Chains A and B, each alone.
Chain A
Amino acid sequence: MPHLEIRELFLSFGGIKALIDVSLSVEKGIIHAIIGPNGAGKTALLNCINGVYRPDTGRIEFGGHDLTRMKPDEIARLGVGRTFQNVELFRNMTVLQNLLLGRHNHFRSGLFRGGVHGYRNPEEVDHRKKVEEVIDFLEVERWRKAYVKNLPYGVQKRVELGRALCMDPEILLLDEPTSGMNVEETEDIARFILDIHEEIGTSIVLIEHDMGVVMDISHMVTVLDFGNKISEGPPHVVQNDPKVIQAYLGEEQERERKTA
C-alpha cells in the first residue's frame, strides 16, 4: 500500500511549466530518491507536498488526506517532516530551541499556561527528554547550547535534520541533505539516513545529486527532467535507462551526432 501517492500533478508559474503530469507513489518505510538535472522540478515537487506551492491540478494523498487543499502547518501536523536545500534554521536560536520548535505540535500548553508556568511547565521537561534522544542520535551533544548562526555548515544541516526528526514524522522529505559537504560529512549524513530508516522506520523521500549516495542507500529512484517523469525503478535499473543517460549526458550525444 503506498504511503504517499501523487497523481497527475501539474504545476506552472506563469508560462513556465514546472511539473507536467507527475505521478509518484512512495511505499511505506522505504527510501525513495528523486533525481534529475538542475531545474527539473524536484524541489517544486517537495514544495507541493508541503503545501508551500499549490499545484494547478492533481492530487497528493497522504494517510487518507488530500494535501493539495491543506495549509503547510496542517500538513506538518499529519506527520510530514522536511529539510531544505539551503539550511532554513532559526539562526538566532540555540540548537536546543530549534529542536524544541520541532516538537511544537506535540505540546498542549498555549499562551496562558506558557506565560504563567514558563520553564517550570512539566511539558518542557518531557519534550526536552525527547529532544535529547534526537541530539544523542545525531551526535550533536557538543553544540546543544550553541547558536545556530555560529555552527559550521555541515552541523547546521544535521541540526535541520534533527528538527525534522523531532516532529516524529511519518514521512521525511529531505532536499539535498548532502549539498555543500565534504566526503566525510556526506558519509555521515548517508549513515544517519540509513539509521533513521532502520531504527525509526520512517519513509524517506530524498532529493540528491550525489549519485554515489543515491545508488547506495535508496530503494527506489524517480528521475525528473524538465518537469516530466522520465524513469522510475530500483537504482540499478534507472542507472542503465537510456532516457536517463540522455537527460544527464544529452549534450554529449548531440555533439557526437554532429561530428558523425
Chain B
Amino acid sequence: MAVTRYCTRTYLQDQRIFPSHSAKISLTLFVIFLVLLPAFAGQYLLLVASLCGIATISVLGLNILTGYTGQLSLGHAAFMAIGGYTVALTGEHFHLPFELNLILAGVVASIAGLVVAIPSLRLKGLYLIITTMAFQFIVEYVLLHWESLTEGERGIPIHAYSLFQLNLDDRSQQFYVVLVLAIAATILTKNLAMSRTGRAFVAVRDHDIAAEIIGVNLAKHKIMSFIASSFMAGIGGCLYAYVYQRITPEIFTFMVSIEYVAMIIVGGMGTVVGGILGACFMTLLPQFLGLIFGPLSSAYPFMSSRLGAINIMIYGMIIIFFLLFEPEGLFGIWIRIKNYWKPWPFKY
C-alpha cells in the first residue's frame, strides 16, 4: 500500500508539495472551515482570527529572513510600523484605494528593508542583531517624536475604506481579506522555499563559505531576503492599521519584534507550517491566559495587578521551554505525531 501510494512517474510528480492526497483533502477541509467561520463565530472571535492571519503574514516574512536565510532580526515590528504608517498617511492625505495602499505599504517597507540590508551585509550574528535592534529603536523614536507627521502618541485614525464591494468596517469581511492574503503569503513562501532562491537562502544560512564557492552571491541573496521579508512585514502592518482603525506607535514596539522572533522559535525555524503554527499559538496564548486569569483576578481583586505580570512570565517560560526541549518547535511535534500514526494500526 505504502509503496504504490508514493509511486511517481515524472520528476514533476516527485517534486510535488504533497505526495499523498490525504494531506490535500485535509487542507482543503481546513480552508473550507475557515471560509465558513464568520457564519458561526462572534465578532470578538473573528477579530482574534484576523489577528492570527495578520501575524501569519508577518511571521512568514520574518521566517524568510531568520528561518531560511539565518539573519536574525529584532526589527521586524519596525518594518510593520513603516507599512502601517504608510497606509495611514497615504490613506488620509491622498485617499488612495485599499488595494493600492496595500501594495504601497509593502513597497515602502521593502525599500526600508533595502536600506537596512546594505550596511548589514558585512555583519553577522550578534552585530546584525544589534543593527536591526537599533533600526527598531530609531523607527520607534521617529514615530513618537515627529509629531507633525505621525501625531506622536495619539496616532492616526484610519477611516472607512472599501475593497471592491467589500466594506472593511465589518469584522467578517475584514477576516476574509486577511484570510485571502494569508493564504497567498503561505503559497508564496512555500513556493519560494522550494525554488532555486529558497535553496540558496538555506545555503547562506547553513554554510556561507560553501555557498559562495558553489556560486551563490551572498550579498544579493541577503538583500533579496531582507526585501521579501520586509515586504510581507509591511503588508502585515498595513492590515493591522485597518483592523485596529487607528495606528499608534504602541502597536509596533520592541516587545512585538521579540514576540515575532518567539513565534518562529515556538513554531519551528525555517518551515512554513511552523511559522503559521507559531503565529497562531502566540496570538491565541494571551487569549487563553485571559480566560484563566480573568475570572481569577475578579475573584481576588488584590491579586489582579500581579496576574498581569504572570502573563509575561508564562510567555517567557514557554520560549525557554521550546528552546530547551523542542528546538524544532511545534512543527517538530507535529512531524513526530504524524510519524507515530503513519503505520497505524501496526507498531512499525
A92's partner among B192, B202, B228 (CB-CB below 8 A) is B202
Q: Are A167 and B215 in contact (CB under 8 A)?
A: yes
Q: List, in ascending order, chain A residues with CB within 8 A of B11's CB.
A: 124-125, 128-129, 132
Docked complex: B222-275 residues within 8 A CB-CB of A: 224, 227-228
Given A118-B190, A119-B16, A125-B11, also A73-B195 (CB < 8 A): no
Quick check: A73 and B216 within 8 Å, CB to CB? Answer: yes
Q: How far is the CA of A128 from the CA of B8 in the complex (A)?
A: 14
Closest chain-B Cβ to A222's Cβ sits at a distance in Å of 22
With A111-B228, A129-B11 known as contacts, the answer to whether A89 contacts B199 (CB < 8 A) is no
Number of interface residues of A (CB under 8 A): 43
User: Complex formed: what's the CA distance from A50 to B203 in Å?
Assistant: 18
* B97-105, B157-165, B206-214, B334-342 - the one binding chain A: B206-214
Q: Are B196 and A117 in contact (CB under 8 A)?
A: no
A104 touching B196 by the CB < 8 A rule? yes
**Residues B12 and A120 in contact, CB atoms below 8 Å apart:** yes
Cβ of A100 under 8 Å from chain B: yes
Do A84 and B210 form a contact, CB below 8 Å, given A114-B192, A119-B194? Answer: yes
Contacts of B194 on A, CB cut-off 8 Å?
Answer: 118-119
B217 an interface residue at 8 Å Cβ cutoff?
yes
Our count of residue pairs bridging A and B at CB distance below 8 angstroms stands at 122
From DSSP, what is the main secondary structure of chain B's interface residues? helix
Residues 1-27 of chain B: 1 if any A CB is under 8 Å from the residue's CB, otherwise 0? 000000000111011110000000000
| B188 touches A (CB below 8 Å) | yes
The 10 nearest A-B residue pairs measured at CB: A118-B191, A114-B195, A76-B215, A72-B212, A88-B210, A105-B215, A119-B15, A107-B196, A115-B192, A114-B197
Given contacts A73-B215, A167-B214, 18 further A-B contacts (CB under 8 A): A52-B209, A52-B212, A84-B210, A88-B209, A90-B202, A91-B206, A105-B215, A109-B195, A110-B196, A115-B188, A115-B195, A115-B197, A118-B187, A118-B191, A118-B195, A119-B16, A120-B12, A125-B15
B interface residues, Cβ below 8 angstroms from A: 10-12, 14-17, 187-192, 194-200, 202-203, 206-207, 209-218, 224, 227-228
Q: Could you give 25 example pairs across A and B, Cβ below 8 Å?
A: A72-B213, A73-B218, A76-B213, A77-B215, A82-B214, A84-B210, A90-B202, A91-B206, A97-B199, A97-B202, A100-B196, A100-B199, A104-B203, A104-B215, A111-B224, A111-B228, A113-B195, A114-B191, A119-B16, A119-B191, A119-B194, A124-B15, A124-B195, A125-B10, A125-B12
